[in-house]
Structure 1
Amino acid sequence: MRRIAACAAILLGGCASWPHDRYAACPGAPEMPVVTRLADGRQSTTLSVLIYNVEGLPWPARKNRGPSLDRIGQTLAGLRAEGRAPDVVLMQESFTSRAARIGARAGYANAIGGPKRSDMVKDPAVAREFVAERRRKKGERAPKLMRSGLYVLSDFPVTEMVREGFARKACAGFDCLAAKGMMLVRVTVPGVPAPIDIFTTHMNSGRAARVSLERSGEAHHYQALEAAHFLDKYHVPDNPLIIGGDFNMRRSPDRFDFFSTAIPYTIVHRRCLEKASACEVKMSWDGDEPWLDTQDLQAFDNGKAVSVEPIRVEAMFDGSDNGARLSDHDGFLVTYRLSWRANVPRNADTGCPGMSGQATRRSSGLRAG
């Protein structure tokens, strides 16, 4: 079994050259964000966040993905040159080194990978029956052969970061071959008086795991509880929070309800359907519960001083004017309005031209992984 696993790891890119995480001390955006005054006297700016499962699966799971992955980076680079790129990109399924280079190809100042195979946490209270029923032929007893596939790209400084893989036994089916997990970055947006906590994850799939939906659903529940614990541990409640990723809850009310109870933040799809919402929907949503029609979701929560509100949602890389379809997922782009009272003091000067906020550093308070 060890020999088979070693061969598989080589086939899956285990010997490939991976880019190092990149951190920039000052914003890399072509243009600084514009701070405006709202009618009620509050100040505001915008932050755009794209979540995108790039389908960066290795051979033999996928063939000839390289050209499409390169085009994703090239498209984002073109948008950055025009000042129209998303401020933050949360990628999933960046399992190959070529997918991991999308951030460098796009030119983002910060490009940070998620958990590696060595970043798995100790197993939580997983039911003995669930552990005992692990099947070798479904990959559940094999070592982790791939990284998490998570990446965060940002032109605004990432001041702090923590990443953890889900517990080794809290997975089901072929998903167990990847070190899926969670990642939180703290981003300083110029002019905003508090940093933004941004959390991303990629949770256990359903039918694609090639085990029963009951078993994959149980693994999903364990991971939801781990994600809730992770946020309780690392998210600073005073900071506004944005959540985005591939949650694998499409057409699964059970998964969605369990997740929403464990992680009770406002789902963007739900907010944008409210009559009082100022959210402009520039994409096709079907039915009364569009959050169940997709794997890719974003959620948010206000901070103590800074409020968060989605004001526009749209698809990217969907075959329209917003980019060619280069993955089996469309990108989901949300533009948020960040607002705060005019008398809220800004953080100390960072030394970056035109920017006030926290000094950029790798935090001693959060584990860098």
Structure 2
Amino acid sequence: MDDIAQTYAYSAPAAEVASEASSIRVTRQTPEASETGELSVLTYNVRGLPWPLALNRAKALREIGRELAAMRQAGRQPDLVLIQEGFRAEVADLVRESGYAYWARGPGRPLAKLTNGGLHILSDAPILDVRRAAFGACAGFDCLANKGAMMVRVQPDWSPTPIDVVNTHMNARKASGAPRSQTLPAHHGQTRELTDFVTTHRDTDHPLLVGGDFNIRNSQARYDYQADNRPFAVVEEFCSRSGSGCGAGAPDTTTKPWLRTQDLQGFRDGVVRVQPVASRFLFNQGDQRLSDHEAYLVRYRLSWKTETLAAVYQPDPSLQVKPHKLGFRVSWAP
């Protein structure tokens, strides 16, 4: 798989607010040197399909950017936005409207494909590194896009370690136009490839956050495949357990809420512990929906003990982050 690391950074201008945000308030904390911080992640399939597969999507992409800008003006914007189906060039309009300082893109368009992978990550914190890989397995119309996975390494100013963040989009079922005899093996193959990608590129000292369109709604066969090898815990499944600490209310232990949606988030500890504390679906107001997916927001609490961290984690002293005309340059001293 492609493991080229290259960062595309975009310094976004101040955005005008064109709509009122519809969201939960995300509390943003800048902890003292002591031991906790919070970070929010939004994963969103924006249906940025090229014409004529979808109509009026350029306008919708700009409106999504304005929704994010309204959240920013209110001080509750997600720290990270993971986008799927961002195939159109107008994704740049979304980025400009949203006000995020850093923008990384996933697998590009090879000659054999109709379009790129449609994956993007927006971040307020500096992006130190990007890894990307296209899936080899696919079925039906999905083979026209360079679907796959990407990982960025971000460094919030309050976090004692970088955070590894993965975004992915996996093979559809009916929308792919292929029979189940082809789409299920393709999805299984992509599951194996995603596991390999994460385990190869993730630094186990860093906390891991994962999101994307997994295309698993109502499919136990897709969700359960190699679940024991999954390199992250799925938020909805984890939070369904008694004593999970995910927030107020009784956990849902019977209806498998993680199978009600295509979109998942996951996490895993590094030397810093990760705990989901709240989640919600956004941008889903009836006829005003901006995509055929809802946006899925999860807020995480990261915690650590300073003395434990000092004993276990030693940052690489050769890593340098310097200003650059695209935003920044990452280099390693020999």
Q: TM tier, shorter chain?
A: 0.7 to 0.9
Contact 1:203/1:246, CA 8 A, preserved across alignment: yes
Counterparts of 2:306 and 2:320, CA distance in 1? 20
Pairing partner for 2:31 from 6, 13, 35: 35
- State whether structure 2 residue 131 is matched by structure 1 residue 172: no
Identify the residue that residue 18 of structure 2 maps to in structure 1.
Answer: none
- State whether structure 2 residue 95 is matched by structure 1 residue 103: yes
Pairing partner for 2:171 from 204, 216, 223: 204
Task: Give the CA deviation at 1:316.
Answer: 1.2
- State whether structure 2 residue 46 is matched by structure 1 residue 91: no
Counterparts of 1:171 and 1:100, CA distance in 2? 27
Q: Partner of 2:290: helix, strand, or coil? A: coil
- State whether structure 2 residue 284 is matched by structure 1 residue 318: yes
Task: Give the CA deviation at 1:105.
Answer: 1.9
Q: Which moved more, 1:74-83 or 1:295-304?
A: 74-83
Counterparts of 1:281 and 1:52, CA distance in 2? 25
Deviation digits for residues 261-307 of structure 1 (CA, Å, limit 9, x no counterpart): 3424211001211221221379x989520111110000110002x00
Identify the residue that residue 67 of structure 1 maps to in structure 2.
Answer: 59
**Over alpha carbons, which structure has the higher Rg?**
1
Would the alpha carbon gap of residues 223 and 330 (structure 1) be closer, same or farther in structure 2, given more than 3 Å must change?
Answer: same
Would the alpha carbon gap of residues 107 and 34 (structure 1) be closer, same or farther in structure 2, given more than 3 Å must change?
Answer: same
- State whether structure 2 residue 160 is matched by structure 1 residue 190: no
Identify the residue that residue 145 of structure 1 maps to in structure 2.
Answer: 114
List gaps (5 residues or longer) in structure 1. Answer: 1-19, 25-30, 119-141, 353-359
Counterparts of 1:197 and 1:172, CA distance in 2? 29
Would the alpha carbon gap of residues 222 and 281 (structure 1) be closer, same or farther in structure 2, given more than 3 Å must change?
Answer: farther
Would the alpha carbon gap of residues 351 and 215 (structure 1) be closer, same or farther in structure 2, given more than 3 Å must change?
Answer: closer
Q: Partner of 1:362: helix, strand, or coil? A: strand
Pairing partner for 2:265 from 280, 298, 315: 298
Task: Give the CA deviation at 1:100.
Answer: 4.0
Task: Give the CA deviation at 1:362.
Answer: 3.3
Q: Partner of 1:78: helix, strand, or coil? A: helix
Task: Give the CA deviation at 1:117.
Answer: 1.7
Counterparts of 1:351 and 1:261, CA distance in 2? 37
- State whether structure 2 residue 221 is matched by structure 1 residue 254: yes
Would the alpha carbon gap of residues 181 and 252 (structure 1) be closer, same or farther in structure 2, given more than 3 Å must change?
Answer: same
Contact 2:320/2:330, CA 8 A, preserved across alignment: no
Counterparts of 2:164 and 2:109, CA distance in 1? 24
Task: Give the CA deviation at 1:214.
Answer: 2.1
Contact 1:23/1:157, CA 8 A, preserved across alignment: no
List gaps (5 residues or longer) in structure 2. Answer: 1-6, 12-26, 323-327
Contact 1:36/1:43, CA 8 A, preserved across alignment: yes
Task: Give the CA deviation at 1:256.
Answer: 0.6
Identify the residue that residue 331 of structure 1 maps to in structure 2.
Answer: 295
Identify the residue that residue 22 of structure 1 maps to in structure 2.
Answer: 9
The amino acid that maps onto 2:213 is: D
Return structure 1 stretches of 4+ with deviation > 4 angstroms. Answer: 284-287, 345-352
Q: Partner of 1:270: helix, strand, or coil? A: helix
Would the alpha carbon gap of residues 181 and 108 (structure 1) be closer, same or farther in structure 2, given more than 3 Å must change?
Answer: same
Task: Give the CA deviation at 1:318.
Answer: 1.4
Contact 2:284/2:294, CA 8 A, preserved across alignment: yes
User: If the length of structure 1 is used for normalisation, what is the TM-score?
Assistant: 0.75
Identify the residue that residue 4 of structure 1 maps to in structure 2.
Answer: none
- State whether structure 2 residue 330 is matched by structure 1 residue 362: yes
Would the alpha carbon gap of residues 98 and 231 (structure 1) be closer, same or farther in structure 2, given more than 3 Å must change?
Answer: same
Contact 1:114/1:149, CA 8 A, preserved across alignment: yes
Contact 2:241/2:253, CA 8 A, preserved across alignment: no
Task: Give the CA deviation at 1:58.
Answer: 1.3
Contact 2:321/2:329, CA 8 A, preserved across alignment: no
Aligned CA RMSD, in angstroms, stands at 2.8
The amino acid that maps onto 1:307 is: R
Task: Give the CA deviation at 1:184.
Answer: 0.4
Task: Give the CA deviation at 1:236.
Answer: 0.8
Contact 1:104/1:111, CA 8 A, preserved across alignment: no
Contact 1:100/1:151, CA 8 A, preserved across alignment: no
Contact 2:237/2:258, CA 8 A, preserved across alignment: yes
Deviation digits for residues 308-357 of structure 1 (CA, Å, limit 9, x no counterpart): 0000001111118xx952100000000000000033349579899xxxxx
Identify the residue that residue 3 of structure 1 maps to in structure 2.
Answer: none
Identify the residue that residue 198 of structure 2 maps to in structure 1.
Answer: 231
Identity of aligned residues (%): 41
- State whether structure 2 residue 130 is matched by structure 1 residue 161: yes
Identify the residue that residue 23 of structure 2 maps to in structure 1.
Answer: none
Identify the residue that residue 308 of structure 1 maps to in structure 2.
Answer: 274
Pairing partner for 2:74 from 82, 91, 99: 82
Identify the residue that residue 232 of structure 2 maps to in structure 1.
Answer: 265
- How many residue pairs match? The answer is 300
Contact 1:94/1:100, CA 8 A, preserved across alignment: no
Would the alpha carbon gap of residues 324 and 231 (structure 1) be closer, same or farther in structure 2, given more than 3 Å must change?
Answer: same
The amino acid that maps onto 2:230 is: I
